[in-house]
Each structure stands twice: as C-alpha cells, then as structure tokens.
Amino acid sequence: MLDVRERPAEGDAAGALVLLHGRGADENDLFPLLDALDPERRLHGYTPRGPLALPPGGAHWYALGGIPTPPAGEFHTSLAALAELVDALPFERIVIGGFSQGCVMSYALSLGRGRTRPAALLALSGFIPEVAGFELDLEAPFPPVVIAHGTYDPVIPVQYGRAARDTLAAAGAEVEYRESPIEHWIDPQIVPLLREVVSAATS
C-alpha cells in the first residue's frame, strides 16, 4: 500500500486527479499543483508517495537504471501498487499526471496493455518506459495527452519527450506537445493548458 496525501473536492467530486512526483521528492511535492490544475476543487486530488527510499534521499518509484529502461523488478512493483490505488478509486473520470519518474509511471499506468484509459494524461519531463514484461497499448481509443518538456533538460533529454509525442501521434492519439527553454522542472507557463485539459476531461 502506498502512502497518499489527499485533497478533497468541494462538494460531490466530478472525478479524480492523481499526480505522481519525481525522483527524490515525495507526496508533498506536487500537492500544490492540485489547486493550480483544479482551482474550483471539482476533483478529489491524490498525490501518492513512491515506495522506495534510496540515496540521496526522498522517495523513488525505481532506482536509476538507464533511460528509457528502469529496473524491471522495482518498476513492476511500483506499477502494481499504483494500479491497485487507482483502480480502487470510486470515480469514473480520473486524470493521471506526473513529473520525471512520475511521468514514466504515468505513461505505464495510463497506456499499459490491460490498463483502463484515464480521462486525460499529463506527461511532464519523462519518457515512455521500455521494460521487460511491460507492453505499451497503442490501440485506440486514447485519452487526451499533454506532453511538456524542457529543451535544455540535462536529466531526461528532450529527445525522449519528442519520441513519446511521435509514438503516440503516429498511433492516432490527440497530443498537445509543448517545449520550454528550461531544464528539468515544470514550466509555470504550461499550467493554463494543463488546467484546461483537466477541466475538459472531467466535465
């Protein structure tokens, strides 16, 4: 079971917004983004904590093992825990998003073979994982997808954001792709687009 921080909706929730943090952060890292993406609090928000405690500190979804090849054992363990969490949520419309390692897990959770599609996918500065035993489902229908990446990202180079865009667009997904002249963080200027997609997907 994952530790999860929750932000309740105001009144009856129209759905859920699940945000996954990056390497070495925790469930508090993206918590403020819940209000930024859902300022009217229409959705019940969740920010799970990665299950691994590794150097140099913080929580992790997997140990570093290469790009785009996370270690299979840790990846599948984290994916199973996330799937258990999301599949138990009492909502029909669920938006899934993440940054860095959380973006990788968001791709897997949203587009893995046998997974239920979310209402929308927010993929921030990550990559589509290539892991033994994991299969990407590139058959329609797809959720709306936003991919955002920093052009000067030294941690996960922008080529991986572009590759994800090309892979999904070629399969027929509706992809909004944005590059920002930044390194490895979330560009505040992308927030209005993310907010618009979240609202449309859960209305």
Is it the case that residue 42 has pLDDT exceeding 90? yes
User: Smallest Cα–Cα separation from 113: which of 133, 98, 143?
Assistant: 133
Task: For the chain, give every domain's residue range.
Answer: 13-201
**Residue 170 DSSP SS3:** helix
pLDDT in tens, 190-200: 999 999 999 99
Is it the case that residue 79 has pLDDT exceeding 90? yes
CATH of region 13-201, choose from 3.10.129.10, 3.40.50.10610, 3.40.190.10, 3.40.50.1820: 3.40.50.1820
CA-to-CA separations, 134 to 6, 106, 163, in angstroms, rounded: 29, 13, 18
Question: 29 near 58, Cβ under 8 Å?
Answer: no
Residue 152: what are its φ and ψ, rounded to 5°? -105, 25
pLDDT score recorded for residue 45:
98
pLDDT in tens, 132-177: 999 999 999 999 999 999 999 999 999 999 999 999 999 999 999 9
What residues contact 92, with CB distance under 8 A and at least 6 apart? 15
**Residue 2 DSSP SS3:** coil
pLDDT score recorded for residue 59:
98
